[in-house]
Amino acid sequence: MNKMDYLDSGMRYNPKSGDDSWDTGVQFLPASNSKKLEKKGPKKALAIVAVLVFITVLSVMTGLLVWHFHFRKEMKVFKMYAGTMHITSETFQDAYEDSASPEFSALAAKVQDQLKTLYSNTPQLARYYVRSTVNAFSEGSVIAYYISEFDVPANQEAAVDSALAEIGKRLLRGQRKLAPEQLRVGEMVTLPVDPRMARNNKCSYNLHAKPGVTGNLSSPGFPNSPYPTDTHCLWRLRADPGYVLKLNFITFSLEDDCSKDFVRVYDSLGPLETRVLAEKCGTFSPSQPLVLISSGNVMLLALVTDDNRNFPGFKAEYSQILKDSNACGGQLTGNNGTFTSPNYPAFYSPSMDCTWKIQVAARLSVKVTFTKFLMSEPGVKLKSCTKDYVEINTQRYCGDEKMLVVSSQTNEMTIRFHSDATYVDRGFAAQYKAFEPSNPCPSQFHCANDRCVSEKLRCDGWNDCGDSSDELACTCKTDQFACKNSLCKPKFWVCDGVNDCGDNSDEEPCACKSDQAKCRNGKCISKKMFCDRRDDCGDGSDESECDNTVVIDCTEFSYKCKNNQCINKKNPECDGVEDCADRSDEAACNCGTRPYKHSRIVGGQNAEEGEWPWQVSLHVKGSGHTCGASVISNRWLVTAAHCVQDDLKVKYSQASVWEAYMGLHAQGQLGKSTVKSNIKRIIPHPNYNTYTFDNDIALMELESPVTLSSVIWPICLPESTFVFPAGKSVWITGWGATKEGGFGATVLQKAEVRIINETVCSSLMSDITSRMMCAGVLTGGVDACQGDSGGPLSSIEANGRLFLAGVVSWGDGCARRNKPGVYTRVTMYRGWITEITGV
């Protein structure tokens, strides 16, 4: 074959016999091609180039193949294994806790010797073994914690893993042959260490909890400097025998991505994958404390960081508590009561089993309502419930449950709680109650799923049962829309782009024809008219969501960069993408972020601490909380003009009657970070109309600038072109104050509301102007008033950043279900706000 000529001239390589892949590897250039090249004399240059290319390709291929067959086999992977060895032939001495003691060294040497012998006698391991290091001992009789290191050829990794998984059994089989001075071992576990745990710069601490004393520990540098890069720090925590450890993170603020920086807590002194209690990153709000409790008298805390982006870190307290206080379960009698998972609201401990037996009076039945239920494990498919679970009548529950209610057929119920050895969670809180089987919900509505809800919630358009059974078989009221499927929904959900009926019948009256699509202003235009560079909608919305952000002719609807160019993107400000050539859309974005990760804790209307850091409580001196406001800079607040109108008794328009509380969570409880400030001046909108509430907005200047912090932070102000479309969910917050009457809640409340179609709102309410927007409640109680006059309507936008969409104004501004709330449309006042405040 011709191809061999090329080979001979270009290459000195002779493939090893038996390497079949070699031959097939070079057949891509057929021999016939080279014959053609030889014939065509004038194109000799071309032929030479082709030959050179061929040779180059061939040498690269050859190189790869040589590497593949020769070196790859030899390429070693460094692997670490963590192990525990239960030594039965020794008794624990205090000196074993001190790795500098001669006793520690002597026993460690014995363990290391024994491991070496064991590995040397195991064919799959002997050649790759590097060393073992004993890091700690604990009671029981003596447990040794060690790390074994191996240099394993890549293709042998699995074999080494499985040999080590079996090594414990091997050791036990060999016990009879041991010399008398050798250690007797009851159990041995050896497992690969998470590769991330092998990062550099090790540091370690050994801490023993003292009886009745709370110790403390923190990440290196805390609180003065961020934690260092490329760090791997270990804290080995011990308690006295008979005690368990409680680790309580007071502050916890790491990078948000656990693949970069993370904390791991083990129910062991070694980093065994089978004993991980938790892996955490991000920031935890003080209202969701992170408290872990071990199952034995040891615990290992590891901090692992990567090479950039450092955060403050953590501070934690540790203490020992009696193991008995971990006991759980029991007999519950009486016709109502509560019980919780062990340690609640701290995380439950691993490897626990608890049983509660509830018995109520004969002829009654039992109903258990879980007010909190958080039993998730990373990487575990929900609903398999093979790890941690609650079991009632052979039915298992796990994961996160929002509205779990379970009833019995008899007057008894048995609830079993089980946690396995790895990954713990917050657990559950439950209430139980006896009920008359013939009347399970006295003076309440009985949902199909056994929940009981107030009769007032029946047929009100909201799914309160969780299974919609409170909304079936209703006669629609005048303020309700009759869906085709016979559900009744509040009329204000019509034509907002959200399918509330379920069969879309609430959206049909305003749907576009099939070849059309809807503009933001509601007009239907042909789909072809979108992104054709012509404003067919009249509000530019057909040109604002095209694939490429381009510069367009400015209209009153287009976003204008500082350099006066207009771009066709919707809401480009602070979305994390530089859209303007001069980057001005991303220039002033120190706003609208929150210090804490969004909470997983579901249900309830209480805000988390720091969840709404722009929320202000405006107090009238001497009479307390009166209105809400929003922080927009370190000097300025936005509130409602109607809050600052004089009445016969109080001169609300005077700055001196007010004081602003920022960073406040609960009324009457000033936190460490709460700031109280006097007001220098109040500027209500000059066109505020006391009768129609038109232009209901006012600015307040603080007496002196406030120091911004994690709990006091400005919300972003939208440009005049910013769009908050009908159907979008936004949030209102407050303590429930209307200017007329005091507040309803101590802790800051939050409620999700949804923006209502302008046309629809105008048809339902009178005197709605273009400077107002309407929103209806999505979640929240019936009678509770959430949100304050003057408080923020916060909208979560691109990148999780929050913008001030509105100011709570009138109607049922404090968010009740039956009526839309009316809000001052902040986009209308962007120019005015800048003019006065410079923000």
Measure Cα distances from 799 to 394, 484, 591, 593, 753 in Å.
44, 38, 12, 9, 20
Picked from ligand NAG, Ca ion, none, the partner binding residue 464 (CB below 5 to 8 A depending on kind) is Ca ion
568 burial via Cβ count (<10 Å: 0-12, 13-18, 19+): buried
Picked from Ca ion, ligand NAG, none, the partner binding residue 336 (CB below 5 to 8 A depending on kind) is ligand NAG
Query: Token pair of 48, please?
Result: 């030479």
Q: Tell me the window of 29-37, 328-336, 397-405, 422-430 that interacts with ligand NAG (CB under 6 A).
A: 328-336
Query: Token pair of 108, please?
Result: 């460690």
Rg of the chain's alpha carbons, rounded to an integer? Answer: 35
CA distance 787 to 565: 39
CA distance 740 to 721: 34
Q: How far is the CB of 312 from ligand NAG (least distance, A)?
A: 16
CA distance 456 to 543: 46
Site string for ligand NAG, 177-216 (x = CB under 6 A): --------------------------------------xx
Amino acid, single-letter form, for residue 497 = G
Contact between 97 and Ca ion per CB under 5 A: no
CA distance 185 to 88: 6
Catalytic residue among 642, 685, 710, 795: 642
Catalytic residue among 619, 696, 788, 794: 696
Which CB sits closer to Ca ion, 90 or 575? 575
Amino acid, single-letter form, for residue 73 = K
Q: Tell me the window of 7-15, 196-204, 257-265, 755-763 that interacts with ligand NAG (CB under 6 A).
A: 755-763
* Contact by Cβ (8 Å): 614, 632: yes
Which CB sits closer to Ca ion, 458 or 739? 458
Picked from Ca ion, ligand NAG, none, the partner binding residue 543 (CB below 5 to 8 A depending on kind) is none
Q: How far is the CB of 441 from ligand NAG (least distance, A)?
A: 13
Q: How many residues lie near ligand NAG (CB under 6 A)?
A: 14
Q: How far is the CB of 586 from Ca ion (least distance, A)?
A: 5
Which CB sits closer to ligand NAG, 208 or 309? 208
Contact between 289 and ligand NAG per CB under 6 A: no
Contact between 585 and Ca ion per CB under 5 A: yes
Give the residue among 693, 735, 687 at the shortest CA–CA distance from 821: 693
Q: Which of residues 488-507 bind Ca ion (CB under 5 A)?
A: 493, 496, 498, 500, 506
Buried b / exposed e over 376-401, threshold 16 CB at 10 Å, is bbeebeeeebebbbbbbeeeebbbbb
Picked from Ca ion, ligand NAG, none, the partner binding residue 493 (CB below 5 to 8 A depending on kind) is Ca ion
CA distance 68 to 168: 35
Query: Token pair of 448, please?
Result: 């199909």
Picked from ligand NAG, Ca ion, none, the partner binding residue 510 (CB below 5 to 8 A depending on kind) is ligand NAG
696 is catalytic: yes
Altogether, the residues listed in the chain come to a count of 839
Picked from Ca ion, ligand NAG, none, the partner binding residue 282 (CB below 5 to 8 A depending on kind) is none
Q: Tell me the window of 52-60, 379-387, 753-761, 809-817 that interacts with ligand NAG (CB under 6 A).
A: 753-761
CA distance 813 to 790: 9
619 is catalytic: no
294 is catalytic: no
Q: How far is the CB of 781 from ligand NAG (least distance, A)?
A: 17
Question: What are the φ/ψ torsions at residue 476 (nearest 5 degrees)?
Answer: -70, 140
Which CB sits closer to ligand NAG, 63 or 334? 334
155: Cβ–Cβ under 8 A, 6 or more apart, which residues? 72, 73
Picked from ligand NAG, Ca ion, none, the partner binding residue 334 (CB below 5 to 8 A depending on kind) is ligand NAG
CA distance 419 to 562: 58
- Selected from 25, 329, 522, 538, the binder of ligand NAG by CB under 6 A is 522
Picked from Ca ion, ligand NAG, none, the partner binding residue 757 (CB below 5 to 8 A depending on kind) is ligand NAG
Picked from ligand NAG, Ca ion, none, the partner binding residue 470 (CB below 5 to 8 A depending on kind) is Ca ion
- Selected from 757, 794, 795, 809, the binder of ligand NAG by CB under 6 A is 757
- Selected from 644, 760, 804, 814, the binder of ligand NAG by CB under 6 A is 760
CA angle 41, 43, 48 (to 5 degrees): 100
Q: How many residues lie near Ca ion (CB under 5 A)?
A: 15
Q: How far is the CB of 754 from ligand NAG (least distance, A)?
A: 13
Catalytic residue among 295, 419, 789, 809: 789
Measure Cα distances from 699 to 11, 615, 618, 681, 719 in Å.
82, 14, 12, 8, 17
Give the residue among 199, 217, 200, 198 at the shortest CA–CA distance from 208: 217
Q: Tell me the window of 170-178, 193-201, 230-238, 331-339 that interacts with ligand NAG (CB under 6 A).
A: 331-339
Q: How far is the CB of 726 from ligand NAG (least distance, A)?
A: 5
Instruction: List beta partners, residue 138.
Output: 143
CA distance 531 to 723: 18
* Contact by Cβ (8 Å): 785, 744: yes
- Selected from 121, 335, 386, 770, the binder of ligand NAG by CB under 6 A is 335
Picked from Ca ion, ligand NAG, none, the partner binding residue 579 (CB below 5 to 8 A depending on kind) is Ca ion
Picked from Ca ion, ligand NAG, none, the partner binding residue 500 (CB below 5 to 8 A depending on kind) is Ca ion
Question: Would you call the peptide bond into 345 cis, given omega within 30 degrees of 0 as the criterion?
Answer: yes
Q: How far is the CB of 521 from Ca ion (least distance, A)?
A: 17
Which CB sits closer to ligand NAG, 257 or 412? 412
Segment (H or E) for 45: helix 44-66
Would the CA dihedral through 243, 249, 254, 258 be positive or negative? positive
Which CB sits closer to Ca ion, 304 or 457? 457
Q: Tell me the window of 334-342, 663-671, 679-687, 729-737 that interacts with ligand NAG (CB under 6 A).
A: 334-342
Residue 735: HSE in the Cβ half-sphere, 13 Å Cα cutoff = 25
CA distance 477 to 489: 9
Query: Token pair of 112, please?
Result: 């290391």
- Selected from 267, 464, 608, 609, the binder of Ca ion by CB under 5 A is 464
3-state DSSP helix/strand/coil % of the chain, to nearest 5: 20, 30, 50
Q: Which of residues 414-433 bind Ca ion (CB under 5 A)?
A: none
Q: Which of residues 470-499 bind ligand NAG (CB under 6 A)?
A: 495, 497
β-pair type (330-332, 352-359): parallel
Number of H helices, E strands in the chain: 10, 44
Which CB sits closer to Ca ion, 471 or 611? 471
Q: How far is the CB of 518 from ligand NAG (least distance, A)?
A: 6
- Selected from 271, 427, 490, 572, the binder of Ca ion by CB under 5 A is 572
- Selected from 27, 33, 336, 590, the binder of ligand NAG by CB under 6 A is 336
Q: Which of residues 414-473 bind ligand NAG (CB under 6 A)?
A: none
The DSSP call for residue 74 is G
Q: Which residue is nearest to ligand NAG (CB)?
A: 522
Q: Tell me the window of 16-24, 296-304, 539-547, 757-765 that interacts with ligand NAG (CB under 6 A).
A: 757-765
SS3 318: strand
Measure Cα distances from 68 to 11, 23, 61, 73 in Å.
18, 15, 10, 7
Q: Which residues bind Ca ion (CB under 5 A)?
A: 457, 460, 462, 464, 470, 493, 496, 498, 500, 506, 572, 575, 577, 579, 585
Q: Which residues bind ligand NAG (CB under 6 A)?
A: 215-216, 334-336, 495, 497, 510, 518, 522, 726, 757, 759-760
The set of catalytic residues is: 642, 696, 789
